[in-house]
Every structure is written in C-alpha cells, then in structure tokens.
Chains A and B, each alone.
Chain A
Amino acid sequence: MTAQTAKQIHYAKALEALIHTAGAGELAELRRAAFRYFNETGYPSVRDEDWKYTNVAEIAKSEFNAVGLRGIDDLVHPELNEFNYKRNGFTALNLALADISKRTIPANQMIAEPIKIRASAVDAAMHAPHYIFVAEPGSESTILEIYESEARSFVNSALQIIVGDNACVTHYRVQKDSAEAFHYGVTEVTLGPHARYDATNITLGGAISRHDIDVKFTAEGGETWVDGLYMLNGSQHHDTHSLIDHAVPNCTSHQTYKGVLNDKSRGVFNGKVLVREDAHGTDAQQSNKNLLLSNEARVDTKPQLEIFNDDVKCSHGATVGQLEEEELFYLLTRGLPENLAKNLLTYGFAEAIIQKIGLDEIKADLDEAVLNRLDVKHGSLRI
C-alpha cells in the first residue's frame, strides 16, 4: 500500500463532492471501489513489467485540480461494470472521477457524420473523461476522438466501444496535447459476430503519454484493423500497449504501427496478439516499424504472439532503423537535394498511416502537423 499523498486526499475530496452532486446510488459505489483500488495501488511504477519503460513518477508527484467532473444521475450504465478499472492506477482513478457520457448508434443506422469526442485540460488540471460507445447491430459509424490539452495538464481518459452483430465502427484517435502535457488513455473494444472495428491512433503530443488498446473478439467472423503512428521529438515519451484477443474462432486482425522519433524522444510499443485455444481459423498480422532520426532517440518494441491453436495464420515483425539507402538514392537521382529527399521519405513513412484517414478535415490537419515536425522550409513539401 502506498502512503496517502496530499494529492490522493485532494482526489478523495473531489470524489466525495462528485458523489454528493451525483447522488449515492450504484455508480457512487463503483466510484468508491475504484478509488479504493487507486489508493491501494497508486500509479504504476517501472517495477511493473507492463510499465518497465514508462516512468510516470512525474505525473505521480504533480498536483492537478480535478475538473469537469460529472455524474449521470443515479444510473449505472451496465457497460461500466465491464470496464477493467483494475488494469492500473490510471484506470481506477479514471472511473472514480469519471466524466461519463454515452452514445448509442441505433441498429441498422448509417451515420456519415463523425461522432466527435473532444477532450482537453487546461494547465494544472486533471480531466477524466469516460466515454461509452455502443454500435448496435448492423450500424455504421465513425468516431473522431481528439485531445488538445494545454501546458502541464493531465488527461486520463477511457473509451469503451461495443461493436454489435455486423456493425462497423471506424475510429480515429488523435492525441495532440502540448509537449508538456501528461496523457493516459485506454480504449477497450469488444466485437460481436461479424463486427468490424478499424482504428487509427495518432500520437503527436504529450511529455509523457501512454495509450492502452484492447480489442476482444467475442464471436466469430469479426475483423479489426488497429493501426497507429507516433511521431515524437524533443524529450517526448510515448508508450502504446495493445492487446488483440482472439478468444473465438475465425476472426481476422491487422495491426500496423509506425514510429518516427527525433531528438531525444523515446517510444515504446508493446503489441500482444493472443490466440486462444479454441480460436482456430485466426488470421493475425502485426507489424511495428520505427524510424530513428537522431542518434539520441530510442525505441523499445516488443511484438508478442501467443498462440494456443495450430490452425491459424499469424505473422509479426518489428524494425528499428534509419531511412533506406536505396530509397534515398532513388530520390537523389531525381534531383532532390539530400535534406529534401530525407524529409520526403520521412513524410512518406508517416503518411502511409495518415493516408488511411478518410476524413479530409482531420487528414489535412495531420498532414500539416507531420510537415511541421520535419526539418524543411515551410511549404516546400506541400502538395
């Protein structure tokens, strides 16, 4: 048990105030249980295997004001009981102080307009949004989740996505918090029969950030794409942990994560694909490619395949390196000066993920963000 810090007492007060305004029903009990768990475990430490490369001591010792707290009457959404708040101290604190909202896409509805989730915290504030997204059978929808926090703020978010029978959810998650900000986010997804979930997770911001994403197949015929890009510079640190859980037969997963690391930045990728005993007919591919643009940048990548069934098709791989010499030579032979050629290749490396994004508004914005990270004169790479 960790000692109660001033901050924990502060959070306890925020929790009591929240429960006071929100009523004292089942939800209050759930919040209290989560808070007890947070008090017991505290924030994760580098002694935890799962947090070996990501030190959150800076978050643990900082003081934040919990803001934007909201309850939802006395109603407990059944999905909240499925949330794995015991994952770590962050998830426990999220549920304790969660600003909860829920959106349901009715059965067989196709919603073209993306459903926007935006969260940001101001300096010294802690925001704990918790979203529940239910895509009923046969529906089609797109989630656009954007984080743009300021200064030394702290966002601790959770998103639960339930994709029903034959439903299809496209999910863009863009984290472009300030370079001083702290960010923890978890995405928990469950897929029903023949459900499809296509995620693109872009990380550009944050001093210390981490995204945990779990996708679980609960019935046959599901398919998922879990892709991402982290593009870091300065002394930014980002960690992605993903778990694709093939708990049932005949599901397909595709995963491509790319990292571009400059200066003294550090990236961590830990991607686990679990193929359980009964999950015959699984098709799982995973790749993580990292481009190091500086000698001081570093990445720790650990793709993991755990397979407990023989009748499966699985592949995985990870690379860490510099630009390909043959690609560079090709561009040089077309007359591009070396600096421009290198930047164009770096841009292309990142762009291969960004190109997946089907929403023009956000794609243009990300193109711009990628270009701004490169060492080129403004405008020279613009199309």
Chain B
Amino acid sequence: MVLCGEKKNMLLEVKELHAGIDGKEILKGLSLQVERGEVHAIMGPNGSGKSTLSKVLAGHPSYEVISGKVLYEGKNLLELEPDERAREGVFMAFQYPVEVPGVSNSQFLRLAYNEKMKHTGGEELDPLEFNDYLKEKAKVVDMDPQFFKRSVNEGFSGGEKKRNEILQMAVLEPKLAILDETDSGLDIDALRIVAEGVNKLRNENNGIILVTHYQRLLNFIVPDVVHVLANGRIVKEGGKELALELEEKGYDW
C-alpha cells in the first residue's frame, strides 16, 4: 500500500505507530489508512493489539505512544486531549461501557451533545428539544425511551450497554467511529440490532473501524477493507472475503 497524504477523502492515517502500556510495547509499527465513507475491520487474536489501538486513538491516559504518527483530517491527533478528540468527531464505542451511577442517560447525552455543538458552532438544545432529538435517534437501535431516565449503563444488560454505545454514536454523529469489540457478549438478536444501527449511521462522510475477534459481526456490517493484526502489526489486508478466509483457517497460518 502506498502512503499518500494528499487524498482528499483521507480521514485517518496511522503511520508506523509504536505504542504500549506499563512500559510494554504492544503496537509495533502499525500503519492504517481510513477514508471517508469506508468501513474497516481490524481482526486479530487476543493480545494482538486490537484494544490498544482503540485506546490509543481515543487517547486513554494509561497508554503511551512511543513513536509514529496519527493524522486525523491531516492534523496530529496525538496532541489532542481525549475530550478534544471527541469534539473533533472521534468516537469510541467501549468494549466494556462504564456505568455512571446518579447521572441519567439523557442528561449525560445532552451535555455531550451541547459541548460538541459549542465546539462546532451548532445550535445547543434545551432539555425539551433534546428529548425530541434523542427519541428520534433512539429508533436507530430500537431503544425504549425508558432508558433515557436511567443512570448511564447502570443495571443495563450487556446488550443494552452496547445499544447505548451505538445510541451515543447516533447522537454525537462522529466522523470517525471506532467500535471496540462491540460484538462481544451479544446474542444474535442483540448483535443484529447493534449492526443494523451501525449500518444506518454509516454514510459517505464518516469512517468506521470495527475492531473484532470474530467474523460473525462482519456478516451484518460488511467492511470495505479487512486488516489482520498480529503481534502489533497489520500482517494482511484484503476485501471482505478475507474475513471468511480467517473464519475457516483461523489466525494460525
């Protein structure tokens, strides 16, 4: 693959990224390019560095970048704080969404939405306006408005938590969404709802990175590019067929 920073649809360019946690290098020269309108799947066995990539892109403070570059819309993503990245349009759906007791889903989402609007010069919404907006967005993942009043993720089932992540994505309309093992722990019905939600949000202006261990999710969300991650590097790239090949042969080849 030729690295080329001039493409006008280029959303994310990761160049020779080395990163790790607690002094241990996990990503060992990872490169990746995502254009607007594309869905990329990053597949790999446990310990290959999938989650590290997600966390580094989102700006988790425990992870350390050793060398390499990450350009987002041509700008250095790594020098932005996690909240700045989010307001610039980067979103990560968590593998294990965090419970926030005492803070209602709608309150949390309105604050997040309005912070983004402040940043982008859009119109902030008052609680009533936001409630209407949220109801509309909740249809994306078929979510009952009862969940708006409940504390963020508190007492939610695994499937409800993942749907809530996609609801947040729908509300914040990111330009780059990283879905970290969104399929883990979901039964087939929940997986279908979540995947349909992502498909509805997929458009020509955003890029989506699906980080997953299993091919199963890719039956529902068809990727443009599949990357195989092993030992901290992309070792193979291909079209959607590559995922099927992996399913058959496993990661040992």
Contacts and interface: CB of A to CB of B under 8 A. Distances in A.
B116 interface: yes
Contacts of A374: none
Contact of A333 (B59, B100, B101, B109): B59
A336 B102 contact: no
B142 to A, nearest CB: 21
Interface string B34-61: 0000000000000000000000001111
Contacts of B86: 332-335
Nearest to A383: B107
Contact of B102 (A335, A338, A350): A350
Contacts of B82: 329, 332-333
A347 B103 contact: yes
Given A330-B98, A334-B172, A336-B112, A351 B81 contact: no
A341 interface: yes
Interface in B93-142: 94, 97-104, 106-109, 111-112, 115-116, 119, 127
From B58, B111, B151, name the one whose CB has the most chain A CB atoms within 10 angstroms: B111
A341 B92 CA distance: 17
A334 B102 contact: no
B83 A383 contact: no
Contacts of A234: none
Interface string A340-361: 1100110111111011000000
Contacts of A335: 83, 86-87, 112, 115-116, 119, 172
Given A329-B61, A333-B58, A352 B101 contact: yes
A349 B102 contact: yes
A335 B151 CA distance: 18
Interface string A293-331: 000000000000000000000000000000011110111
A9 interface: no
Contact of B83 (A325, A341, A350): A341
Interface residues of A, number: 29
A289 to B, nearest CB: 10
B168 A348 contact: no
B101 A348 contact: yes
B72 interface: no
A351 B115 contact: no
Contacts, number: 87
A337 B115 contact: yes
B170 to A, nearest CB: 13
Interface in A68-86: none
A17 interface: no
A332 B58 CA distance: 9
Given A332-B86, A333-B92, A335-B87, A340 B111 contact: yes
A369 interface: no
Nearest to B127: A383
Given A332-B81, A352-B151, A327 B100 contact: yes
Contacts of A326: 98
Interface string B132-168: 0000000000000000000100000000000000001
B104 A383 contact: yes
B83 A332 contact: yes
Given A333-B59, A335-B83, A381-B111, 9 more contacts: A330-B94, A333-B85, A333-B94, A334-B108, A335-B86, A335-B115, A335-B116, A345-B103, A383-B127
12 contacts: A330-B94, A331-B100, A331-B108, A332-B81, A333-B82, A333-B86, A336-B83, A336-B112, A340-B111, A348-B100, A348-B103, A381-B111
Interface of B: 58-62, 81-83, 85-87, 91-92, 94, 97-104, 106-109, 111-112, 115-116, 119, 127, 151, 168, 172
